[in-house]
Structure 1
Amino acid sequence: MRLATRSFLSIAFLTASAVVAQDAAETRAVSPLRKLMDESLAWNELLTSEDSAEPMTVRVVMRWANNARGSEDGLTMLYLSQGRPEAVCCVYPWDNKLIHEFDSLSRGTFVARRDGGVFWRPAKPGPVFKPVPGADAPADSPAARLRQMKTLAGQFSSTMLGWRANKSDREELRMLPQPLYRYESQRSDVLDGAVFAFVQGTDPESLLLLEAFQKGNGFEWQFAFARRTSGELEGRHKDAVVWHVPGFPEGKDPLGTHFGIGRAFDSSVNIDLEKK
C-alpha cells in the first residue's frame, strides 16, 4: 500500500512539475514585444463609413515568424463587418518600429482611425473578384461548401517573384491546408467564403479569397488575391496567371488600397529586441 501511495505521489509530483514548467514557459514567452503587439490591436478602428458608430470586429487569425527576413514575431488579423473580412493587417517589428501593414479586402470602401483621426480611407474597392473558371455552383449545405472551397483553393498557386531584377529570389509559396478564416456572412450578397494563405515559413505573403457571391437569383464561386508583402507576386489558376502585382507598392497614400503605418518602440521593447 505504501508503495502504491509513493508511486501515486511521485506521479502527482511529476504532473505538477510539468504544469509549473509549462506555466513558466508560457510566462517567459510573453515578451515585451508580444505584449506590445497584443496591445496594438486596439490602436486602430476600421468603420464602414464616417457615420458608423460600430467599429469592425478584430480577429487575430495567425501568429507567425519569418526568419528569412528577420521577423521573429508577427501576427495577421482581419477586420470583419457582418462576418465578412473587409481588411487585413500584419503587425511586425521593423527598423525599431511596430509596423501595421494593411490591405483592403473590401468590395467597397471604409475609413480607418487612429488617435482620434482618420489615417486611411481607400478610395476604391480592394481586390478584383472574378468567377472561378469551371467551378460548380455553391452547394446547399455549409459543410459541402467548405469541401468545395478547399478543392477550389487547391487549383490555385502563388509565387513570390521577389525584389531582385533578375528574379533570383523567386520562391513558390506554400498554401496552408486550412483557411485562415471561414465565414458565412450576414450580407445577402455573400453566402459563404474563406481566406486561404500562401506562406514563406509561416508568414502569409499572399491571400486567396473565395466567395459564394450573388449572381442573378443564385450564387457563383468568385476568387481574388491580395498581397501581404512588398515583393512582386503572382497568382495562378492551374497553369494560367490570373493575378500579378509589382514590388515596392506605394504604402503612404491614405487613399490607396495598401497602407503601412509605424510607431516607434519604447525602451523596454528595444532592449528585448537586442536580446534576440
Structure 2
Amino acid sequence: MKPHLVRCLLSLTMSGVLGLPAIAQEKARTGSPSEVAEYLKIARAQTEQVRLQDVETGADIERVENPVYRYSEPVRGIVQGTMWVWGRKGRPAAVLELMRYDGNNDWFAFHATSDNLIKLTAKTGQTWTPKSSELKFQPLPEAPPPADSPAGRLRQMKEFSRKFSAHEFWKGRHELRVATTPVHRYEDRDRKLIDGALFVIAHETALEATLFLEAVHPDDAAKPIWQFAVGRSGTAEIVVLYDDKKVHHLPAVEVIPPPQTESYWRMQVHVARETSK
C-alpha cells in the first residue's frame, strides 16, 4: 500500500542521466521515451540529495549507481517507480523505493537492511536513524548446500524463489508476485557471505517487499547454508510463504510517516520544476 498523504517536504533539483539493466525494464515503460528519460533524471537527482553513513565509523555508504528496478502501476496511481540500493560491497545497507504518483506527488520509502547502524541525512535536514535492520534471517527450509559456482548458486536461488508466495491485506486480500530473477547480486567473503541476491515481491509490478536469499557459512556450522529474509517496502500487512507454509509476517504500518528510528521510513518529496514565462 502506498499512501497519498503529504507529510515531510524535500525540495530537489534535476540533474544527471542514468541507464537501466534490461532486467529492471520489464513491463516498466509508460509514456513516451522522453517522459521516461525525464523522470529518470529527476529520480537520480532526488537520490543525490540524501547522504547515508555508517554510524560507528562515520564513513559514507555509496549508492549503487543505477536503479536496480523500475516499474509503473497505474491502478494504484503510481506513474513511475524506481528502486535503489546503498552499499557496493556485500548486503545493501538500505533500500529506497522512489515513487511518483498522479499529480506529481513523490515519495521516498526506505528500509534498513544492514547489520550495522546507519544514519541518513537529507540536504534539508531531515534524518533517519533506524535502531536496527528489519531483516530477520532464518535458514531456508530443507535447502540443499550452496553450489560451488556462481552460476550454480544463481540457478538454485531462482528455484528457491519459485517456491515463495505472498499476499497482502489492504482493503481486502491481494496476491503478490515473487520475481524469479534477482535485481541485485552481492557477496562479502570477509563476512562469510558467499553469495546473495535481492528479489522483488510486487503487486502487479509495484514493489511491496524485498526477498533476500544468501549463501553463508555460519561460525557454528560445518558447511555453508542458505538463509533468507524479507524487507518491507509498502505499508500493508504482508504474509510470506515457502512451500505453502507461512515463514514470515509483516504487520501493517499504522502511522505514516513512521517514526524516524524505525527500520522502515517514508517522506514526501517536492521536486523543483521550471515554470514557463
| TM-score range for the pair, normalised by the shorter chain length | 0.7 to 0.9
RMSD over aligned Cα atoms: 2.3
Q: Which moved more, 1:126-135 or 1:238-247?
A: 238-247
Deviations 1:94-149 (A, max 9, x none): 47542110011223321112127560111122211000010112121111111111
Residues 194, 118 of structure 1: CA spacing in aligned structure 2 closer, same or farther, 3 A cutoff? same
Aligned residue pairs total 240
Contact residue 107 and residue 126 of structure 1 kept, 8 A: no
Quote the Cα distance in structure 1 between the aligned partners of 2:198 and 2:54: 20
How high is the TM-score relative to the length of structure 1?
0.79
Shift of 1:70: 0.3
Q: Identify the residue that residue 123 of structure 1 maps to in structure 2.
A: 131
Name the aligned partner's letter for residue 77 of structure 2.
G
Which among 173, 178, 182 is matched to residue 175 of structure 1? 178
Which among 44, 48, 63 is matched to residue 42 of structure 1? 48
Aligned ranges 1:6-45 → 2 under 5 Å: 26-31=33-38, 33-45=39-51
Shift of 1:171: 1.7
Quote the Cα distance in structure 2 between the aligned partners of 1:38 and 1:125: 25
* 2:115 alignment partner, SS class: coil
Contact residue 109 and residue 266 of structure 2 kept, 8 A: yes
Residues 226, 249 of structure 1: CA spacing in aligned structure 2 closer, same or farther, 3 A cutoff? farther
Contact residue 164 and residue 240 of structure 2 kept, 8 A: yes
Shift of 1:50: 5.2
Alignment pair present for 1:145 and 2:150: no
Q: Identify the residue that residue 7 of structure 1 maps to in structure 2.
A: none
Give the fraction of aligned pairs with identical amino acids, expressed as a percent.
28
* 1:89 alignment partner, SS class: strand
Higher relative contact order (CA 8 A, sep 6+): 2
Which among 242, 266, 271 is matched to residue 265 of structure 1? 271
Unaligned runs of 5+ in 2: 1-31
* 2:229 alignment partner, SS class: strand
Q: Identify the residue that residue 241 of structure 1 maps to in structure 2.
A: 246
How high is the TM-score relative to the length of structure 2?
0.78
The structure having more radius of gyration, on CA atoms, is: 1
Select the structure that is richer in helix. Answer: 1
